[in-house]
Structure 1
C-alpha cells in the first residue's frame, strides 16, 4: 500500500496537457540517442527509425490493451545481423530478415498463449542466453573502436586520426560522467548527453559539416524503404539463418524487461495482460519497422529507468512520446542534424553501450545464480563465447551458412539439451521463475 501512495501517475491516469507534454519529451530524450544510433551504425535512415519506433510503440500499447507502459526503440541485438544481411543482399535482405524476426515473435506469442512458458525455459535458460548476450556486445566491439579511431570506418584502407580518437574519448568521458555522477535529468539521458557534448567538441575540432543541415527543408518525407514500392521482397534461407536465432535470444531479453517493469510498476505484466501479448506487441512493432525501412524494435531499458525514477507510469505519457517521435521523423532539419554527427562521436558512445550489452549478459548469469564452477555450465558458456566472438561459421549449402552469434546461440541450445546433469547444474536458472513469486507479491 505504501508503494501505491508513492505513485505520481498510475498506468491508466492521464496528466494535464502541460505536464503530459513535458513528461513525454523526457521519455523521447531517454530513447533518442540509442534509437538513432542503431540506424546510424547499420546505414539506415534515422528519421525512419524514429517513425517506426513511435508507430511500433503505439501498436504495442494497443495490443497490450494500454496496460504496459513500455517504449519500443531500435534493437542493438540486430546490428551485426543487419550488417551481415545487407552484405549478402542489400537493405532489402535486411528488411526481409527483420520481417521474419517479427513473425518469429508472433509464433512464440501464440505458443506461449497455448502452452505456457516451460518449453521456452528449457530452450533458453540463462546459461545459454547470458553468454549469447555477451557475444552480441563483444562482437560489436571492433565496430565501436573503428568508429572511434579512424576517419573512414568500414573502408578497406583505414586512416587513423588522433583528432577522431580524442573526440571519441571525450564523448565517452562525458557519457560516463553523466551516468555516474549526475542524478537528475542528465543522469537519465547519459547517452544523449554524451552525443550532444561530443558533437559540440567535434564542431570545435572541425569534424562537423553543417551544409546539409542548412540545405535541408524543415519538413520532408523520410527515406522510407517500402516493399513492392522500392523493392521486391525475396525469401532466403541464409537470411533466416542470420536473423531468426537472434530473435530467439531477444525474446529472453524481452521477458527479463517485463519482469523488471513489473517490479517497478508493482503489477504482474507477465500474467496480465500476459507475456504473449507483450511479445506479440514487440513482433508487430518489428514488422512495422521492416515495412518502412527501419531496424527491429524492442522494449527500452532507458525508458524503464525513467519510470523507476519519476514514478510516472501513465501509458498516455508513453503514447505522447511515440507521437513526438513520429513527428520528429518528418522534420528534415533534425534528420540532417543526426546525419551530421561524426562517426567519432558515435564511436565514443558505442564503446560504453556495447560494453554494457556484454556486461548485461554477465549480469544475467549472476542474477540467476548460475554456477560456473559446474563443469557443464562452464563448457556451455565457454563454447558459446569462443564460437560467437571468434566468428566461426558453418556452410550448410552454397546459399545458407550459420555464423557468429546465430551459430553460437544454436550450439548453446543444443549443448544445454544434450549434455547430462541439466537439473543438477541449473540451480536458480529459470528466467521465468519470478513469474510465480511476483504473482504472490502483487496479490
Structure 2
C-alpha cells in the first residue's frame, strides 16, 4: 500500500541530506565517521524496535540488579566501537578486505588520482558495496558523516526540497490543502534544527514527516461499534445510511459490514432503498443471502424513503441492533437525485450518513465527498479498494478535507476483507518499508 507516498517521503530525506552534505563539503566542514548509516525506513523500524525493547526492559524491573550489571558491561564494550577515520574521499571503499597491509607510503600524485573520480560521483558512494561483508538487516554500510561545526537547517536548504515534496504529493492525488499542510508542518519542524551527524538528518526528517501526516489522518470521532453499543443501551437500533456514486462498491461494502457485525454478535438488517437502478435490488439481495441477514425490499421503482422507514421499524420490532440502508448511486451534481437522498434522510432519521468512496480514484473521491457533505452533511467515510491503492491520495486527504473520520477500509474482495480504520495502523502503513505489511493488531 501507498508505495508512491513512501518514495516521496524517503526522497525528501535523501534530498535534504544531499543538500547539507554538499554544502558542508564546500565549506570543508565534513568528515567521515565510523558507524552505520540508517536509511529512512530502517530508521522507522529501528525506532519501533527500541520502543519494544524499552517496554521489555520495564517488564524486567524485578531483575534490575543483574540487568544493570549487564548494561554496564555492554556500555564498556560500546566505548571501544570507534574506528580510525579514513580519508574523506575513501568513503566509497570497504576497508575490510585491506586491513592486513595498510598502505602508508602512497605518493601525493596517487592520492590526487583517487580524489578526482570520487568527487564526480559523490552520491554513488554506496552503489558498489553489494559484494562487501553481510550487513545488518536495518543498516547500510558506511556513508555516515559528521559535521565539524554543527549545521543548522535553514529555509534556504528546504525551499527546493519542500517544493518538490508538494508537487510529488499533488501528483499522488493528495488534495492541495493537505499537501500544503504537510509541507508547512515539515518546514516548521525542521527549520532551526542543528545537525551534527548525517543520521540526524534522516531522524529529524522522518519525525517531521510522520508528525505532519499523523495530524492529517487522525480525525476524532466515535467508531460505529461504539455507537451501536450506545444505541443498544437505549433500546434502539443504529441506523446507517450509505451514499456515493455508482461503481464505488457501496452495496458490496454493506454486505461486508453486515457480515462483520454478525460475527461480533449483532443482528443487522439491510434496506434495499436503491429502487431505481436495474438489478440493484437483486444485487443487494444476493449479498444479504450470502451473509445470512434479513433484507427489507419493495418493488422496483417504489419510494426509497418508504423502504428505509420499513427497515427501521422492522429492526425496532425485532430488537435488531443495526440497520444498513443502501441508496441509489448518484453523481453529486444531480440535483433531483440529491433531493431524493435528502428525503430518505428526513424519513429514516439515520444516526450516521456514510460516504463510500473508491480509494483508487484519488482526488475525485475527495471532491465527491466534499459535494455530498455540502448537500447532506456526512458523518463518516468508508474507502474501498484501499489495499490496491499505491498513491494514497484519498486515504491521506478525504477525512482532513471534510473534517469527518474514515470509519472502515475495504481491503479485498471477500466479505471478511474490511477493517475498522485505525490512525496508528494507517501511519505505520505509510511509514513502513515498501512491500512490508503491518499487521493491524501490531499497530
Please give the TM-score of this superposition, normalised by the length of structure 2. Answer: 0.23
More helix by share: 1
The structure, 1 or 2, with the larger RCO (C-alpha pairs under 8 Å, 6+ apart) is: 1
More strand by share: 2
Please give the TM-score of this superposition, normalised by the length of structure 1. Answer: 0.23
